[in-house]
Amino acid sequence: DTAVSQTPKYLVTQMGNDKSIKCEQNLGHDTMYWYKQDSKKFLKIMFSYNNKELIINETVPNRFSPKSPDKAHLNLHINSLELGDSAVYFCASSHPGTSGSSSYEQYFGPGTRLTVT
């Protein structure tokens, strides 16, 4: 009954390859996010989608392309992987902008550790 799940948990690949990370949430939330956590543990938002529509795109290289087939899924596809893409990628979901205490509260997946060699 995992709320936000990601696959795979670990991903090791070579420079230049293309890879995808999948995210699914069963919380019924409208909005999903991708965050990148670098080697110094700094977390930064990359994208957010609301009901399959892109809302936030934070100056991320266009090698990164999120895709949301439905509001419960948000996948991240990365083309031409570079060494600097090595990081932990977190998916999250929330019900943003609604009244009440659930506004802006984000639930995170376990993360995908990407290593580019």
43 lies in the binding site for other proteins (CB under 8 A): yes
In terms of Cα–Cα distance, which of 1, 3, 12 is closest to 107? 3
Answer whether 44's CB lies under 8 Å from 58's CB. yes
Q: Which positions from 79 to 108 touch other proteins by CB under 8 A, shown as an x/- string? A: -----------x-x-x-xx---x-xxxxxx
How many chain residues are in contact with other proteins, going by CB under 8 A? 29
Give CA 107 to chain center in angstroms: 12
d(CA 76, CA 34) in angstroms, rounded, equals: 8
Q: Residue 14 or 100: which CB sits closer to other proteins?
A: 100
> Which of 78, 73, 26, 25 lies closest to 49 in space, CA to CA?
73
Among 21, 23, 24, 33, binds other proteins (CB under 8 A): 33
Q: Which residues would be at the binding site for other proteins (CB under 8 A)?
A: 4, 31, 33, 40-45, 48, 50, 55-56, 58, 90, 92, 94, 96-97, 101, 103-111
